[in-house]
Structure 1
């Protein structure tokens, strides 16, 4: 377990001084609404009780001195010679500093220690949690006066500029804006947030980590994004008021995209219908209709697998198993795809048996372990 005492002790060991402050920023789940965020649609995420922790202190020079516990690796660079690192992990920190520099915010050298218990590669957005924890900690340390929305945007721009992933805003927003006991219905166009109570009654959420990450993930993400942009461009030729798939109807796709590019049509139609599924799921949650919520999760998985084509055989196997297990009301793949987790809504009385049965079936089928992740929903980024 990661505690403030543990971070303080490691910080002292590494940098020979005390951390001025420690911040934590959580990983996230997304109940439903996948690949909608970069299309100005809706998402339904919330923070979980697994987080990235950052200890920081000011230095007397212009050096940035970093240490990542997960990699057992240090990195140092002058703030005046800021540049992406080939190591990869420092870029989630340096990219945030670069965004501060672009805004002419007064920041000098600092020491930073990074640790966390968000499982890497599980689709729980450990990278966004790093960006938000770093941004939040440095904002406090240097008294920069940025608000949470600005810090979320800085995290997103870090991905675009220093990491090379053209991501939407959902992960950073969920990490920094979440409220315990609620999901955020986030409008990715206006950034308007509605906090919807997450009351599942006799049900519980469990994540099942496939422990696979197929190499298709990053290239497929950029390809899907390009398909969405092409669909918008085709519709915009006739309807100039259209700016994103949020403005497009299936009837317009039928009219202007279907005959030009069948694949682009299918990908765009998925996004439009995923927004509709999210609205239905949200209404079901507000009405306490957990069976209907689960139904939308199953429908979302079927569509993301066959239409958007970012699932994989391991994820499909888990959702098929869930469909046929009494006590599971809904399941789907969660995240960018090609690996990571499924999110499952399960009756508490069936949870133990379900996790045991599905793990055995998965091991028999694929030859490796399935890791259950039991989560509680929690608050967004905070000082500890």
Structure 2
């Protein structure tokens, strides 16, 4: 756990509430190794949590008021009551965090959990607007804080589901379950193969000599305002054409055989999802076996499919993938990760190639704005839970 982050959240709590918290919890961000836009199609994804987190310091109140301070936004304070309607705020962009908090609390209440008031301070170091699920980390951390404060008999899977409900219904982004589930349930040292229909999870060991390299293109993306919801609608239309509940239920042979009069665009969207599901299952096997040549090939195929069939990459992202593939060769792979239209590239590569990858990116890449890319070397992290206060108080 990042000590500067802990110091910051404790300072915010003390400055805002003139007290020390009774509990601190964390929830990690995530990077998806393969399996993009398959989650809301009831398919398979293979993310890993990263060692960038949201922390929530908390103490209970003896009334129905919730007070939340955001360290990352100049200690902005939001206050609302549990016994009154919880409504979204319409305000400045730097107030968007409020709706993720309020939406999660409302989802907990709507699910029947008898919440009491609380004072919360929030701080995070998950890069925002980069496709690394800073929003899911915030939602999961808020639910985890109430679970810990009140000793709720609330499963980690249910936390993820309620966090997803908050984002879908309160914030207005129709994301799938992947981001919240990996944040809530991940295992240190492992990726997590998730069946997004059953919510079954299988840890997949990642060799310790393989680095998870995340490169932020500095092309910012925002899912609520992007074409993410449009892609989801196109997938649902394709599933309806084939008469299946979700594209998860198609294989490639049936995809081709039943095309009929399905328009070209919807068919290509469906082809990406169907082939990506197969690639994700193959990738879990390759990763578990330490077969990085196979894993790299599958990541390359995934990127091409996102670029050509799903059309969610942009030229700076394609350039970053090409630079990384040139450095890594057959020893690993690189692909766009996240919702698309900017954000990040993820690479799996031997630790001894990290320096060369950094150098190549610094020498060959600039965002359209002229900015250099940001590079993060990550390690698969544990999922949400309490953090020991010993040594920090």
Residue from 10, 15, 18 that aligns with 1:13: 15
Residue 356 of structure 1 corresponds to 359
Whether the 8 Å CA contact 2:238–2:262 is kept in 1: the answer is: no
CA distance in 2, matches of 1:321, 1:15: 49
Query: 1:326 Cα deviation (Å)?
Result: 5.0
SS in 1 for 2:349: strand
Query: 1:262 Cα deviation (Å)?
Result: 0.9
Residue 41 of structure 2 corresponds to 39
Whether the 8 Å CA contact 2:55–2:141 is kept in 1: the answer is: yes
Residue from 331, 336, 340 that aligns with 2:339: 336
Residue 270 of structure 2 corresponds to 268
Residue 93 of structure 1 corresponds to 101
Residue 236 of structure 2 corresponds to 229
Query: 1:61 Cα deviation (Å)?
Result: 2.8
Taking structure 1 as reference, are residues 365 and 4 closer, same or farther at Cα in structure 2, changes over 3 Å only? closer
Map 1:128-277; keep pairs closer than 5 Å: 128-199=136-207, 201=209, 203-214=210-221, 218-236=225-243, 242-257=244-259, 259-277=261-279
Taking structure 1 as reference, are residues 131 and 221 closer, same or farther at Cα in structure 2, changes over 3 Å only? same
Query: 1:364 Cα deviation (Å)?
Result: 8.4
1:344-367 deviation digits (Å, cap 9, x = unpaired): 122322221221121221138762
1:19-50 deviation digits (Å, cap 9, x = unpaired): 12110000111111000000011001111111
Query: 1:144 Cα deviation (Å)?
Result: 2.3
Query: 1:222 Cα deviation (Å)?
Result: 0.6
1:29 pairs with 2:48:
no
Residue 300 of structure 1 corresponds to 302
SS in 2 for 1:314: helix
Residue 82 of structure 1 corresponds to 86
SS in 2 for 1:106: coil
SS in 1 for 2:305: helix
1:106 pairs with 2:117:
no
1:67 pairs with 2:75:
no
Residue from 355, 372, 375 that aligns with 1:372: 375
1:316 pairs with 2:318:
yes
Query: 1:193 Cα deviation (Å)?
Result: 1.0
Q: Comparing 40-49 with 12-21, which one deviates more in the overlay?
A: 12-21
Residue 118 of structure 1 corresponds to 126
Query: 1:324 Cα deviation (Å)?
Result: 2.5
Query: How many residues end up aligned between the 2 structures?
Result: 378
Contiguous gaps of at least 5 residues in structure 2: 388-393
SS in 2 for 1:2: helix
Query: 1:2 Cα deviation (Å)?
Result: 3.0
1:153-206 deviation digits (Å, cap 9, x = unpaired): 0110010111101111000110010111111111111111111111164x3221
CA distance in 2, matches of 1:258, 1:332: 32
CA distance in 2, matches of 1:218, 1:232: 24
Query: 1:103 Cα deviation (Å)?
Result: 2.3
Whether the 8 Å CA contact 1:2–1:117 is kept in 2: the answer is: no
Taking structure 1 as reference, are residues 103 and 365 closer, same or farther at Cα in structure 2, changes over 3 Å only? closer
CA distance in 1, matches of 2:328, 2:347: 13
- Compute the RMSD of aligned alpha carbons: 1.8
Name the TM-score, length of structure 2 as normaliser: 0.92
Taking structure 1 as reference, are residues 324 and 366 closer, same or farther at Cα in structure 2, changes over 3 Å only? farther
Whether the 8 Å CA contact 2:214–2:375 is kept in 1: the answer is: yes
Query: 1:223 Cα deviation (Å)?
Result: 0.7
CA distance in 2, matches of 1:126, 1:295: 29
Whether the 8 Å CA contact 1:298–1:332 is kept in 2: the answer is: yes
Name the TM-score, length of structure 1 as normaliser: 0.94
